[in-house]
Structure 1
Amino acid sequence: MTGRVLDDSADSVVLPGRLADIMRPELESVSEEIVTEIRGLIPEYRRPIDGPYGKSIRAGVSHAIALFVEQIANPTASKDHAHEVHRRLGQFEMREGRSLDTLQAAYRVGARVAWRRIMRVGRRSGFSSAVMSQLADAMLAFMDELASVALDGYLEAKAGSADALDTWRRRLLQLILERPSAPSEAIHELAQLVNWPVPELATPIAVRPLYRSASPGHPALDPEILAELGGREPHVLVPGELTKQRLLMLQAAMPESRLAIGPCVPLDAVADALRWSRKTLNLVDEGSLPALRVTWVQDRLPLLLLHSDESLAGQLRRRLYGLMEGLTSKQRDRMLTTLRAWLDAQGNVLDVAGKLAVHPQTVRYRMRQLEAMFGERLHDPESRFELELALRMLRLGKTAATSLSRTAPRALAGLPSVAPVR
């Protein structure tokens, strides 16, 4: 793309068509460069750009650059479509919770990158400094025009949203929970916009209605608490440790909801802690945990670990059932109860007898049966650990016989013989 140096009068004749022809092959790469630089310089945009978010940003940049080049060749080219794109982009930015300063900064970055490319191409093609100066004025005026259109869209969306602040607060909560993690600068910028002091530690809480037809609604909560209660998995985020007073307030605000209180963790670990809280509520629904109004996840971490991979848990249970093949459900229930008590008591027959309310001789008789079934597994530390894991994943007690009678036949179907662990 080299050419002779033109004088000003010649430039004025050949500039429109020639510069447009020179710039068209550059459109795709300059658009990508603008998006990259915006994301690199402005923290709010430094996140994965898949989905509607990325499409909006890329569409706005591409239309702006393409229209500018088109207007060089044809000053009467319609701006209507580009204006509509940027008006919607302004609306989208408001709904995403970004500030006006952030939006205007993105346009400034876009103008700077586009002008840098035009200067490089213009010099390479031999245009004079006077023409390049005219182009600079035209580019800045054009970007100001689009920025003004986007600002109108932003203000329209804001005026049409009575709960704009609530929208930004929900957006802030989404940013904190994003994976991969959003840049801390983006979180702090949006937190400043909604006047939310960013804590070092926070407590996530998963919320679930007690009844399927119920909903947490839109309760009045402390302004320090971020909440998203309208989705499929309602949740709130409490700065710092959850105090007794604040817990009582949450229970009163959501009287028909169950709460799983996650551990208090650094802000960048909140997403994991909320995932554990949701898993805890699932275990409550399944009957693996008591159906309490409030469950503290911190007290259930071992159980959550055991249930972190249901397929793997099922494999451990099948191995346990396979060793007891041939027993009736009642016999299996009795043997598993004895085995659990024996492992808990570390093999002390008298303790096992006391726990099961049976004679010590009965314990010895059952243990001889278990020895015949389990062999060296009862004395190998790693095998005993596996047995404890499998037993803890079974719901023993009142529902054990029913649970085992339902699952054991399916578990044993086609199961190969289990070799002793050595």
Structure 2
Amino acid sequence: MKEVRRTIPEYAQGAGADGAAGRAEAAERPRLRLSVEQALRTFVDQISGSTDSRERRDELCRALGRAEAYEGRSLDALQAAYRTGVQVAWRRVAEVGRRQGLSPTVMSQLADALFAYIDELASLSVQGYMEARSFSADERAELRRRLLRLILERPKASRTAIARAAAEAGWSVPAEVTAVALPAQARVLRAALDDDLLAELGGGEPHLLVPGPVDAARRAALLAALPERRGAAGVTVPLPEAADSLRWARRTLDLVDAGVLDDEGLTPAEDHLLELWLLADGALLDQVARQRLAVLSRMSETQRLRLTETLGAWLETQGNAVETARRLQVHPQTVRYRLRQINEAFGDQLAEADSRFALEAVLRAGRLRRRSPSLQ
């Protein structure tokens, strides 16, 4: 492997490349190493008369060829890697032969077997390459849509199933991903999307899966592909948790549509985790509010509003009446009067940490919901 990376530039790029290309190269190295190890193991089996590992070796070699096609490269680099590999292998075989005193006849047979074996490996990679090239753009897109559905599937699909589908679709499996939710019927410039994205753009809930985080460069690229410049990015999570990232992205987009959150073009869920949590279950929130605010039920709506506003500001300022008055733009004496009413109504609840926390959460959620009639 070291000799291959040293002599062939295409396999040396991963060490210093940045961005998506660097990540793809880095993901490619373990697969190449695995293929080399399997090829060597199968060669040893073959000269000893066993064929047990041939099927695995054949698929790995075809996968290498498919990967070259999916990356838009020719087979020149892979063929050069095979040539380098056989040269290194023969030098080591010849060294072992000399140490063991093998006859020229045996060494000649080994050389014939080794070079014929490398030709066989190269032929398998050509098969994989041609298979991949024979796919139309629509067929490849369908393979990637199936892969995306598999990744988001619940119960979760196995890592083996995802790896197999990813190899067929020509997609390097990342450690982490970020889901992006798009509005229904969103216009997307497909040609402007990065090639390492998975996309489902049909149906009522179009979405994308981005390898790694949505950094500034990725955000700019995504917005360039979205003429309406609207969407929401979920939280960056390990690949098996991709469905959660998409769920949070969709909820973020819903809150943008409802006017609860500001539209930031590609609104990041990560900046609004508290809002997502507080508004995650409207029915449950109603139950908590009824329980915690029951003592205000006999008051008029105007009284309830004044006291809950005052209580919320007082809790957020950690009991500072002057700061509460400043926030509410009323006189401190007015705040003190309302606080006496609040203490009479809530009593011991205000002395208990759990109760104060519950009250503050309910009041914060209530303020968020009032921004949108659809969440009332």
1:170-221 deviation digits (Å, cap 9, x = unpaired): 1111111111111212211221222211111111111115xxxx53345221
Corresponding residue number in structure 2 for 1:249: 221
Query: Could you list the runs of 5+ residues in structure 2 that have no partner in the other structure?
Result: 1-130
For residue 163 of structure 1, the aligned residue among 138, 151, 159 is 138
CA distance in 2, matches of 1:325, 1:185: 57
Please point out which of 265, 273, 286 is paired with 1:314: 286
1:194 pairs, out of 162, 169, 173, with: 169
- Which structure 1 segments of 5+ residues have no match? 1-154, 408-422
Higher relative contact order (CA 8 A, sep 6+): 1
SS of 1:174's partner is helix
| Cα distance in 1, alignment partners of residues 298 and 364 from structure 2 | 22
Indicate the residue corresponding to 1:280 in structure 2: 252
Among 236, 260, 267, the residue aligned to 1:264? 236
Distance in 2 separating the partners of 1:245 and 1:257: 15
Amino acid at match of 2:169: V
1:241-267 Cα deviation digits (max 9, x unpaired) = 212122112112112252211111111
Where do residues 78-89 of structure 1 align in structure 2 (5 Å cutoff)? none
C-alpha distance in 1 between matches for 2:328 and 2:353: 24
Q: Is the 8 A contact 1:337 1:396 kept in 2?
A: no
The residue type equivalent to 1:195 in the other structure is G
Report how many aligned residue pairs link the two structures.
243
Partner Cα distance (1:241, 1:281) in 2: 18
State how far apart, in whole Å, the 1-side matches of 2:158 and 2:347 are: 55
Q: Is the 8 A contact 1:217 1:230 kept in 2?
A: no
Shift of 1:396: 6.0
**SS of 2:181 mapped into structure 1:** strand
Does structure 2 conserve the Cα–Cα contact (< 8 Å) formed by 1:202 and 1:267? yes
1:351 equivalent in alignment to 2:337 = no
Q: CA RMSD in A?
A: 2.6
Q: 1:393 is paired with a residue of what secondary structure? A: helix
Per the TM alignment, residue 326 of structure 1 is displaced from its structure 2 partner at its CA by 3.4
Report if aligned partners of 1:207, 1:257 keep a CA contact under 8 Å in 2. no
What amino acid is aligned across from residue 161 of structure 2 in structure 1? A
Please report the TM-score for the alignment, with normalisation by the length of structure 2. 0.59
Larger radius of gyration: 1
Determine whether 1:371 maps to 2:343.
yes
**Distance change >3 Å, CA 257–CA 321, structure 1 → 2:** farther
**Secondary structure at 2:183 match in 1:** strand
Sequence identity (%): 45
- Separation of aligned partners in 2, 1:259 and 1:330: 38
Judging changes above 3 Å, is the alpha-carbon distance between structure 1 residues 184 and 270 closer, same or farther for their aligned structure 2 residues?
A: same
- Equivalent in the alignment of 1:185: 160
| Match among 205, 224, 229 for residue 233 of structure 1 | 205
Looking at structure 1, the residues matched to 368 and 153 of structure 2 have their Cα atoms a distance apart, in angstroms, of 38
Q: CA deviation at 1:302?
A: 2.2
> Which of 285, 293, 313 is 1:341 aligned to?
313
Distance 1:283 1:201, change over 3 A: same
Distance 1:277 1:310 in 2: 18
User: 2:292·2:358 contact (CA, 8 Å) conserved in 1?
Assistant: no
Hey, what does 1:101 align to over in structure 2?
none
- Partner amino acid, structure 1, of 2:299: L
Map of 1:357-396 to 2, 5 A cutoff? 357-395=329-367
Aligned: 1:216 with 2:191:
no
Name 2:151's counterpart in structure 1: 176
Q: Deviations over 1:359-400 (max 9, x none)?
A: 221111010111122111111111111111211211269x57
Q: Which residue of 2 aligns with 1:419?
A: none
**Residue 283 of structure 1, CA deviation:** 2.2
C-alpha contact 1:216 1:257 (8 A) present in aligned 2: no
Match of 1:124 in 2: none
Partners of 1:195 and 1:257 lie apart in 2 by 28
